[in-house]
Structure 1
């Protein structure tokens, strides 16, 4: 048992980031970078590109990320790195409302999983068969 375990509150909530801090605690840019696997310079750049991402800044310009800021960083990371949005597209999606972005993600997946039946492929296939038959007849006649 480490000395940290001895002084930890028995009913302290576990941190979502695994750093031992209270989930509501402020985190430095280094802690956010390590917890989410996003480099610090990327986080600083995202602050410039996404006006809604504004961590607290204390004396000397040190950044402190609130839980809402961390959730926003996770959403930006998901949109840009997993769902293929450009930074501009992610910014527009987030300006439309974070709830809308989160609500649209499953809907897009369900639409892709269950596409509406279409007669276009059957029509195209029938057209290709007709072209093939015309070519076969032309070769036999030649």
Structure 2
């Protein structure tokens, strides 16, 4: 079957308008796969947590060591993990841990809570702080990882 010139032009027009739409859909899909520069990456945060492991634990079997366990950190008042001997500075800081207070603290613990027992220089890289936050937020009070 041979198309008339009018049909050919119509079919050609449809193809031309569909191609950019298809290309835009594919481009949008591919962009969605690329993580945003500001996205939090829990897997990268787990690697960053290696800096913390000497003193802190997370997970279902976590316990206090040189530092308190960090399960259920966000929403918790500073200095309240049972069985851990906090400094008076931590106990009296009045901090309720959320993303902002944690980010401020982890960048320079001794500046945020003078008198803290935590001897850590801090994490200065903003993305690393976000990633570490994403990792820690996965752990509920019971140490179970949320999906």
TM-score, normalized by length of structure 1?
A: 0.21
Kindly indicate whether structure 1 or structure 2 has the higher relative contact order, using CA contacts under 8 Å at least 6 residues apart.
2
Looking at secondary structure, tell me which structure has more helix per residue.
Answer: 1
TM-score, normalized by length of structure 2?
A: 0.21
